[in-house]
């Protein structure tokens, strides 16, 4: 009897696998992170936007969980993305500023000894793709294909032009050379795209190119557990939108705001294409998607962060609190708001916990698995405190409960109660000096765990030949320190 039962069970399992290969890997969810660039807190429908319409992005929040207090680890893109990809405060490994775009500089990138999401998931059988903006280093050793990503399509630098006719240089090195000969600044914005290590010619608007490639990756990996890091550079400057998207935003009279909105419309269409492809392939229920911006909106681009104070580059809420949501139909209930503070640090921790992936004990994560909190299994706070630091501006900030503290040699000391002062209008640092002092001590102590930035600023010039050997030596010394320590 048992033999017949086992044979029947095997036959059913084999049949299900042949008919729908997805069934065989149902225990391993697919993971997607959709990251926008400089998108304002109020520039999505799920945070109240009226003029910028984002029905597909809103689906992620409406059919999942919206994080009303969702933070990133820095107020500009490079360090913020480094924190997201490693699940660790980026200051722990010296990524405290945007790195110089210089493919000859072996220091200017995310240290190889730090594990990215792709590298963690590689150990449990995932295929990974990075599509869009990289900004984790342009030296060959920092290339996405050397960081656990099986597939890469995009550009290595921190910004890009959107129209294909403007992409004229073969690679970042050529762009850097042009910059050094007094050509237009940021000529690496004009490089052609890469597919893995090969230069490709494109013919369509950049955001559409990235969305198309994401769809192709999902189609290609539909039978395997995958991680897709869809890192749009929209709506980061330059403000460029195609006629098609501009025509869908004629209700916005301000020209700059209309172009900015149109760039988000392009992203929203891409998100819609991703969701549609998942449904078509019966992958929807078993795919966990995070959506967020890498930092607050840039007001010079007409972004809106209301009701938050500040913008990109600030450590007021408008610089670090972002549109943030997660969707997983099989596990996460729809239409839920989660109101306790969470961080982009938590994305890797969540993926690792769901897959039992191993994390280096020498470099423990600063993030936490969000699933017990989302599902109501843990009623506590995911984080007792969150921290921020700008080394170059000498700013420290923290949020403990509803108390938000900022210590700055430039703008002074600040303390706000975010429960009744979301716009950070009423400084309580003098009236509640004990609270501020306690957080200041805590911030200073945390800062002792961090490294100074290990590379030159984005605004610095190309590396000179005389300094090349010096930088190579410094890179070897840093790696040697990390290998001989308990982590840093």
Distance CA 165, CA 187 (A): 14
Give the relative orientation of helices 77-86 and 346-355 as an angle to the nearest 10 degrees.
20
Report which of 384, 308, 341, 438 is spatially closest to residue 42, judged by C-alpha positions: 308
What are the pLDDT digits (tens) for 74-119? 999 999 999 999 999 999 999 999 999 989 999 999 999 999 999 9
- DSSP labels, 21-77: HHHHTTTS-EEEEEEESS--TTSSGGGT-SSS--HHHHHHHHTSEEETTEE-S-SSH
Q: Please report the pLDDT score of residue 382 as a whole number.
A: 98
Q: Please report the pLDDT score of residue 176 as a whole number.
A: 61
How many domains would you assign to the chain? 2
142-180 as b/e, with b when 16 or more CB fall inside 10 Å?
bbbeebbbbbbbbbbbbbbbbebeebebebbbbbbebbe
Q: Are residues 378 and 236 in the same domain?
A: yes
- Residue 462 included in any domain: no
Parts of the chain with a pLDDT under 50: 1-25, 181-184, 464-468, 470-472, 474-488
Instruction: Say which CATH number the domain at 198 has.
Output: 3.40.720.10
Distance CA 445, CA 135 (A): 29
Q: Are residues 286 and 161 in the same domain?
A: yes
Q: Are residues 272 and 314 in the same domain?
A: yes
Q: Please report the pLDDT score of residue 166 as a whole number.
A: 95
Catalytic residue among 77, 151, 383, 414: 77
Q: Are residues 284 and 356 in the same domain?
A: yes
213: which DSSP letter? H
How many residues make up the chain in this entry? 488
- DSSP labels, 288-341: EEEEEESS---GGGT---TTS---TT-SSHHHHB--EEEE-TTTSPSSEEE-S-
Distance CA 256, CA 258 (A): 5
Q: Which domain holds residue 377?
A: 29-383
Q: Of the candidates 337, 363, 383, which is a domain's last residue? A: 383
Q: Are residues 65 and 142 in the same domain?
A: yes
Q: Please report the pLDDT score of residue 187 as a whole number.
A: 85
Catalytic residue among 135, 143, 151, 414: 135
The pair of structure tokens assigned to 20 is 């729908």
Q: Of the candidates 431, 449, 467, which is a domain's last residue? A: 449
Distance CA 304, CA 322 (A): 11
Q: Are residues 429 and 353 in the same domain?
A: no
Q: What angle do CA 158, 159, 165 make, to 5 degrees?
A: 140
Q: What are phi and psi of 338, to 5 degrees?
A: -110, 125
- Residue 24 included in any domain: no
Known active-site residue 135: yes
Q: Are residues 403 and 331 in the same domain?
A: no
- Residue 15 included in any domain: no
The pair of structure tokens assigned to 387 is 């921290």
Q: Are residues 313 and 428 in the same domain?
A: no
Q: How many C-beta neighbours within 10 Å does residue 375 have?
A: 13
Q: Please report the pLDDT score of residue 173 as a whole number.
A: 61
Q: Please report the pLDDT score of residue 450 as a whole number.
A: 98
Q: What are phi and psi of 460, to 5 degrees?
A: -75, 155
Q: Are residues 218 and 276 in the same domain?
A: yes
- Residue 469 included in any domain: no
Q: Residue 287 forms beta bridges with which residues?
A: 30
């Amino acid at each position: 009897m048992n033999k017949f039962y086992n044979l029947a069970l095997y036959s059913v399992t084999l049949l299900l696998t042949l008919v729908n290969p997805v069934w065989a890997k149902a225990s391993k969810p697919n993971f997607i992170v959709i990251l926008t660039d400089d998108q304002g807190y109020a520039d999505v429908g799920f945070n109240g936007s009226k003029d910028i319409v984002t029905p597909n992005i809103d689906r992620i929040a409406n059919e999942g969980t919206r994080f009303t207090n969702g933070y990133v680890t820095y107020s500009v893109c490079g360090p913020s993305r480094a924190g997201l990809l490693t699940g660790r405060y980026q200051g722990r490994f010296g990524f405290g500023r945007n790195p110089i775009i210089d493919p000859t500089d072996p220091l200017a990138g995310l240290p190889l000894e730090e594990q990215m999401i792709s590298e963690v998931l590689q150990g449990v059988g995932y295929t990974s793709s990075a599509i869009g903006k990289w900004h984790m280093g342009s030296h060959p050793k920092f290339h996405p294909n050397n960081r656990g990503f099986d597939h890469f399509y995009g550009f290595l630098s921190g910004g890009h032009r959107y129209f294909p006719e403007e992409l004229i240089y073969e690679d970042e090195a050529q762009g850097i050379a042009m910059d050094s000969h007094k050509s237009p600044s940021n000529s690496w914005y004009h490089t052609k795209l890469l597919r893995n290590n090969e230069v490709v010619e494109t013919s369509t608007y950049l955001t559409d190119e990235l969305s198309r490639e994401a769809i192709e990756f999902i189609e290609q990996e539909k039978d395997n557990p995958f991680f897709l890091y869809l890192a749009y550079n929209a709506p980061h400057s330059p403000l460029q939108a195609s006629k098609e998207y501009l025509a869908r935003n004629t209700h916005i009279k301000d020209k700059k705001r209309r172009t900015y909105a149109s760039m988000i419309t392009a992203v929203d269409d891409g998100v819609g294409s991703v969701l549609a492809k998942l449904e078509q392939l019966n992958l929807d229920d078993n795919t966990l998607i995070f959506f967020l911006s890498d930092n607050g909106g840039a007001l010079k681009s007409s972004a809106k962060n209301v009701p938050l104070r500040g913008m990109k580059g600030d450590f007021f809420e408008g610089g670090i609190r972002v549109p943030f949501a997660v969707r997983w139909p099989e596990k996460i209930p729809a239409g839920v708001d989660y109101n306790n503070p969470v961080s982009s640090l938590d994305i890797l921790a969540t993926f690792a916990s769901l897959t039992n992936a191993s994390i280096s004990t020498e470099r423990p994560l600063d993030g936490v698995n969000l699933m017990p909190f989302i599902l109501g299994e843990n009623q506590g706070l995911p984080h007792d405190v969150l921290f921020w630091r700008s080394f170059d501006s000498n700013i420290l900030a923290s949020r403990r409960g509803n108390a938000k503290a900022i210590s700055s040699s430039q703008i002074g000391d600040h303390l706000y109660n975010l429960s009744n002062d979301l716009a950070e209008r009423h400084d309580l640092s003098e009236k509640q000096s004990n609270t501020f002092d306690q957080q200041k001590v805590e911030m200073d102590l945390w800062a002792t765990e961090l490294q100074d930035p290990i590379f030159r600023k984005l605004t610095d010039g190309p590396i000179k030949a005389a300094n090349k050997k010096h930088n190579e030596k410094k890179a070897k010394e840093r790696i040697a320190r990390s290998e001989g320590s308990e982590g840093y």
